A and B are shown apart, each in its own frame.
Chain A
């Protein structure tokens, strides 16, 4: 029976091909627009580290100006001072902990044929790699001992290792980074969490770094830091004064395995701030925060306003397309009143008629869904071209989203088809037959 109805639907769609085309195009455009923006939002709000996003916490302490709160008092500062993050590091109260900042430098390859290259760097602690599941091709992370001893060790990205060493195992070799000799201790595989949750302050969708070096080398002035620096109080001249000052430029992550550990860590943070108050720091009320990955992404509004606005618009767009479809289906099915009357007179039950016309709606929905899928591919390519770096790699349709597109189209058209079908089934046969 199903294939018979499919055939009937096919005949009906072909007979009114103009009308069917308008419906299919409308649904296709609606689904295309909706899917394009839903995909961008979906990828922007994706969980970059699903299996442990609940165990990684970003630490915030309110060390700001007593006269003028940070972020108008909505949130505590988004980074920590050097003093606080090194103190927390030394306290070593979490299961794992990582202090980090963005850095940069110049690599001078030994091979004189190669030109020196500007690289982006991350200055971080040993635990960074295990906490964030960074995949290694060669070697491994440095040890906590290396952090403390301020050893000049470096982990290269696959890109840099390919560029300088042609992809060979370079572990154990040395490299000249900003005029200092660093020992290569590991090479990581391509690693690009999206969003780049571990450092939102320098761009949630930026590329991950070229090289990784111990954070402790910043204080030694062997690594040049970059990224955002925000000060509420002027500090004195020179590196030592800057490090001791009230400037926020470091980020601190901890890994805590249970709710209990989280509570304990919070207690510890509060106690730490109370202790610091004795030195005349932290004059603001206690306002410390531990946010897990998803909370942190939400707090930092990683999903851009533009993207959200666009999604709202495209959902309304889809609604218009569906209203259009309801209207057209209604017209089409009511136009078939004589035929329906005849079929009813010949003994077709309402249920039969209902399923027949629902199948016809679903066919149109399916065709519209396919068209919409094609259009969303184009839409995403368009978005990637239009937005450039900002949306790079965000515009891809995975299997989930493709299925979702088809299901969305089917569900929408079936819902849109219910009312017209119901009206069509309630046509009184006698009247239709009489008028013929």
Chain B
């Protein structure tokens, strides 16, 4: 690299031009590293599984308006009809849907009393078919039995005495050993006792942005309420054909209510993460366009500086420089500018990340990403300068003898 010193001296004659590209590279680096970081953060959230058999499940709302309506009997009829339908694996009534954004939560604590710490958990009111219908995995203890299920009046404040919790909730309640939670009695509504009879591997809460999203609890309640949801699991591949059939059957069986808002769990997941998805697509577009713009900026400036130096390049060629040496000159020049830009960019990326951490509670960035940004920009810079440098190398030595 004999000519490095020479290149630097030449660059110093046009400081501002070089500095502008360096700054542009620095800002690009700052932005793309942080954008990719945000994309990864969202992607990892979207990859979390809900614990539910999302492919084969859907749900609907059941709004009762008829007068003198026997809610208990009607629910039993509905569930019996659904469970007997060909293609349906199982069905339950449920108060909230995982990932849907709307649901119930409550505090559970290991010691009774108003001033004791409690841990928030999502509440799913279901019967003994829940594990089968949702497609959950019970890793310890047992399911509810049919006799455990109680009717819950609207506005009722007491709880049944048995519950099934997720491993995450068990771990929050008993941090030393989640398995020890099995059979333990804990407290809900500050002082009502409930006993943990089973532990689930996983079941997410309705709120994907909540830090306790893995904490859920199944409560053996059937709700005597005029508005409720029915959740249905079908045999693999039969969901789409069964959805309209279920709606029609239920609606025709009983005219005292409205069956509506049919939605598959897959659609729920899509809606739940719609904003994540949208933001990711936008950020990806930003990363790509920005890289292209920076690339084109480098190309444009290189072409211009080469045009201005046509005569000098011709002279160098006439004095015996090879084509490769001419190309190398411009590539090394770009490398020097890129390195300065990338160094500033590293500082920028970390500062922007610090600001994001402070303002939006994001996690701090990792070193791999910064290295990735460094490599990408070096490659982009070299690729961008390749075409102009090749053009420069094709300048004929005869140019030196001509006046412009």
Contacts and interface: CB of A to CB of B under 8 A. Distances in A.
B44 interface: no
Given A313-B35, A328-B300, A386-B277, A26 B293 contact: yes
Contact of B27 (A116, A320, A335): A320
Contacts of B27: 316, 319-320, 323
A106 B65 contact: yes
B155 A419 contact: no
A118 B260 contact: yes
A312 to B, nearest CB: 9
A219 B235 CA distance: 45
B258 A116 contact: yes
A1 interface: no
Contacts of B308: 334-335
- Interface size for chain B: under 10, 10 to 19, 20 to 34, or 35 or more residues? 35 or more
Interface stretch (A145-153, A183-191, A236-244): A236-244
Contacts of B38: 309
Interface in B147-187: 153, 155-158
B283 interface: yes
A25 B61 CA distance: 50
A272 interface: no
Contacts of B303: 18-19
Contacts, number: 140
Interface in B18-44: 20-21, 23-24, 27-28, 30-31, 34-35, 38
A237 B278 contact: no
B282 A386 contact: yes
A335 B304 contact: yes
B293 A234 contact: no
A239 B304 contact: no
Given A313-B35, A314-B286, A330 B114 contact: no
A331 B304 contact: yes
A260 B96 CA distance: 47
B248 to A, nearest CB: 13
B63 interface: yes
A280 to B, nearest CB: 14
Contacts of B16: 330, 419, 423
A67 interface: yes
B271 interface: yes
Interface string B307-331: 1100000000000000000000000
B241 interface: no
Question: A-side binding surface: helix, strand, loop or mixed?
Answer: helix
Given A234-B190, A332-B304, A386 B278 contact: yes
A295 interface: no
Interface in B284-313: 286, 289-290, 293-294, 296-297, 299-301, 303-305, 307-308
Interface string B220-237: 000000110000000000
Nearest to A324: B297
Given A320-B294, A327-B301, A332-B304, A29 B283 contact: no
Interface in A306-361: 306, 308-310, 313-314, 316-317, 319-321, 323-324, 326-328, 330-332, 334-335
A178 interface: yes
A387 interface: yes
A179 interface: yes
Contacts of B141: none
A180 B214 CA distance: 42
A12 to B, nearest CB: 14
A235 interface: yes
B157 A234 contact: yes
Contact of B304 (A19, A33, A383): A19
Nearest to A419: B16
A319 B301 CA distance: 17
B401 interface: no
Q: Is the interface of B mostly helix, strand, loop or mixed?
A: helix
Interface in A233-273: 234-239, 241-242
B279 interface: yes
Nearest to B23: A323
Contacts of A310: 279, 282
Most A Cβ at <10 Å: residue of B35, B271, B274, B282: B282
Contacts of A323: 20, 23-24, 27, 297
Contacts of A423: 16
A242 B189 CA distance: 15
A22 B300 contact: yes
Contacts of B61: 118
Nearest to A178: B65
Contacts of B304: 19, 328, 331-332, 335
Interface in A119-143: none
Contacts of A222: none
Given A116-B65, A118-B258, A331 B17 contact: yes
Interface string A39-74: 000000000000000000000000000010000000
B201 interface: no
Contacts of A320: 24, 27-28, 31, 290, 293-294
Nearest to A384: B278
Contacts of A386: 274, 277-278, 281-282
A116 B66 CA distance: 11
B84 interface: no
A305 B358 CA distance: 12
A224 interface: yes
Contact of B155 (A29, A105, A239): A239
Interface of B: 16-17, 20-21, 23-24, 27-28, 30-31, 34-35, 38, 61, 63, 65-67, 114-115, 153, 155-158, 189-190, 226-227, 258, 260, 271, 274-275, 277-279, 281-283, 286, 289-290, 293-294, 296-297, 299-301, 303-305, 307-308, 356, 360, 403-404
15 contacts: A22-B297, A25-B296, A26-B297, A104-B227, A118-B260, A179-B65, A241-B157, A313-B283, A314-B286, A316-B27, A320-B28, A328-B301, A334-B308, A386-B282, A387-B274
Given A22-B299, A327-B24, 6 more contacts: A19-B304, A118-B258, A323-B297, A326-B20, A332-B304, A388-B271
